[in-house]
Structure 1
Amino acid sequence: MKKLIKIIIRTLLFLLIIVTAYGLFLYQSDPYIKALVQNNESKLFYRPSTKIEPLNNFDYSEHILTVDDSIKIHSYVFNPSSEAKANIFLVRGNSGNTSQGQELIKPLVDNGFRVYSTDWRGYGKSSGVPNYKGVIKDTETAFVDFLHQTKNDSIKTIVYGMSLGGQLAVKLTKDNQTKIDALVLDGSLESAHSFITDNFRAFYLKSFTNDPNNYNQDYIAIRDITQITNTPKLIIHSINDRAVPFERGMNIFKAAKEPKIFWKTNTDHIKTLTDLPDEAIAKLNALIQ
């Protein structure tokens, strides 16, 4: 009996050592797990790139805006070849930068929309390091500039949020309902906490993901969208979305007030404009009628 107990204890100790060693390996080798353990939001939520791709196929202008007296962010206005039928304030996802996402902008511009896109702090040519409070300041500063540049236009304004940018788009629309004619969300996050729980599901990470209070909650898409009243909403989500589960889009749609439309697609994450451009343009045209 004593021999059996010793074997069990040794086995358990061996398993504990293996699990601990594996945990340490993951902590050291996976920057996102390390960021989760350290609650480093800049690394957890944002994937900026400073590599700039040429924008030779666009008629565009570039603007440098100052945020908090020290941060310089770069914004871009892409013009259609004919008279614009609507202005789109585009809030992109958390990866790359505007120049690396031009395939999302081209279908809009080619079909008569003027598109305003901003690189948050740390993205593209913009200075600083992205963080939860900083990117909303950058977005709000850019929106003021957007309104200034379009103040003499008689066409409608659409705020279009993708992925992590969806949360920002909802917050912006909630705070500026008289200035925005329509809200579009594509693959939007439900909240910062939902992003964590969706992307870190392993049992050994549960203690770091269970408490929503561990993450900034100044703006939450599923909560803030309930305060948007008469603004038309188009909510797009793919059943094949691996980055943000389909149920997140459905939850946001259910929480939203009328008028609203849900569009279920079958593309990869935020690939609506590249994979279904004709359908997307048709729905945008209907939205601004």
Structure 2
Amino acid sequence: MASRTARLLLKKNRLKTPLLALFVSAAALIQSGCSSLFFFPDQTTYITPDRLNLTYENIYLDTADGETLHGWWLPAKAQAQGTVYFLHGNAQNISSHLLNVAWLPAEGYNVFTIDYRGYGKSTGAPDIEGALHDSEIGLRWLATRPDIETTPTFLLGQSLGGALGLTLASEWVQRNETPKLNGVILDGTFSGFRGIAREKLSNFWLTWPFQIPLSWTIPDEYEGVDQIANISPVPVMIIHSVRDGIIPFHHGQDLYDAAGKPKRFLQTDTPHAATFVIPAYKESVLEFLRDN
């Protein structure tokens, strides 16, 4: 039940009977509110870095509330120019999102990516608070790596990962935490948890009456559009596609308008979370990394 309704908010509905899908989704929403419906994890290993000729380490991190998180450290193939901390989208796990960052080690960037609780080999069950906690633990682990002390650190969040990364980065910069962030890249990210929940609920006649009360189950401090200005003066790059069928284009524009300077906007024309299949878009991101 939960895995089906997770698709209602951020994934295309794959149930064969549309009316049945609406009833199933509405029933779960009424019972549980919105928070857990942002997450659609699985434990399948789709690909490992070695299949892409990448060197890697399995990293396991313990959380304060007793969970264990799994991640991959992918060192740069040559002398490292920097490190990218990657937070993936809401479906499957890091192995299905690997291709989004597998090209970076060859360009001279270390990559670290983790699975939130409940995803892949990470224990527990996902929710917004837990995923935010997990994303912070991953960034704190980077501070323990002596090989990143002399090079810049960047955060790259895609879709749900961008929303988590935005909240994390806004607090991280304000607290002057280590490692210092040299840039934040948000790709196909929604402007706020409550906002996107209300928007998606309003698209279906069966859930339309519940869009306001159910969205209120999500605390309003998770609205990225209200937080993104706090990342300044760290540079921000917003990437959003005019053909994004999951997160409408206006979310990227809203985030860009609310962000402080310096900031960049890259308008793309790929499907959701498919930015890096286009070499020119990779080059735009590399330019941002080099400039910062």
Match for residue 38 of structure 2 among 25, 30, 45: 45
Per the alignment, residue 188 of structure 1 pairs with: 189
In structure 2, relative to structure 1, the CA distance for the partners of 1:122 and 1:42 (3 Å cut) is: farther
Cα distance in 1 for partners of 2:252, 2:290 equals 22
Report the alpha carbon displacement of residue 33 of structure 1 after superposing the two structures with TM: 3.1
**SS where residue 119 of structure 2 aligns?**
coil
**SS where residue 75 of structure 1 aligns?**
strand
Match for residue 89 of structure 1 among 85, 88, 99: 85
Report the alpha carbon displacement of residue 110 of structure 1 after superposing the two structures with TM: 2.5
* Structure 2: 5+ residue stretches without partners: 1-16
Deviates more, 1:157-166 or 1:47-56: 47-56
Residues 166 and 221, structure 1, Cα contact 8 Å, conserved in 2: no
In structure 2, relative to structure 1, the CA distance for the partners of 1:23 and 1:282 (3 Å cut) is: closer
**SS where residue 126 of structure 2 aligns?**
coil
Equivalent runs, 1:68-83 vs 2, <5 Å: 68-83=64-79
Report the count of equivalent residues: 265
1:92 maps to a residue whose letter is H
Per the alignment, residue 251 of structure 1 pairs with: 254
2:137 maps to a residue whose letter is T
Cα distance in 2 for partners of 1:61, 1:23 equals 43
Report the alpha carbon displacement of residue 206 of structure 1 after superposing the two structures with TM: 1.7
Equivalent runs, 1:195-274 vs 2, <5 Å: 195-200=196-201, 201-211=203-213, 212-273=215-276
Does residue 100 in structure 1 map to residue 93 in structure 2?
no
Report the alpha carbon displacement of residue 152 of structure 1 after superposing the two structures with TM: 4.8
Cα distance in 2 for partners of 1:272, 1:197 equals 26
Match for residue 131 of structure 1 among 127, 131, 140: 127
- Percent identity between the two aligned chains: 26
TM-score, L = length of structure 2 = 0.84
2:250 maps to a residue whose letter is E
Residues 83 and 148, structure 2, Cα contact 8 Å, conserved in 1: no
Deviates more, 1:210-219 or 1:228-237: 210-219
**SS where residue 136 of structure 1 aligns?**
helix
Residue deviations 1:27-79, cap 9 Å, x none? 65x3x333322234464110101011342222111111111242111111112
Report the alpha carbon displacement of residue 137 of structure 1 after superposing the two structures with TM: 0.8
Deviates more, 1:252-261 or 1:167-176: 167-176
Cα distance in 2 for partners of 1:243, 1:110 equals 30
TM-score, L = length of structure 1 = 0.85
2:278 maps to a residue whose letter is L
Q: Aligned Cα RMSD in Å?
A: 2.1
Larger-Rg structure: 1
* Structure 1: 5+ residue stretches without partners: 1-21
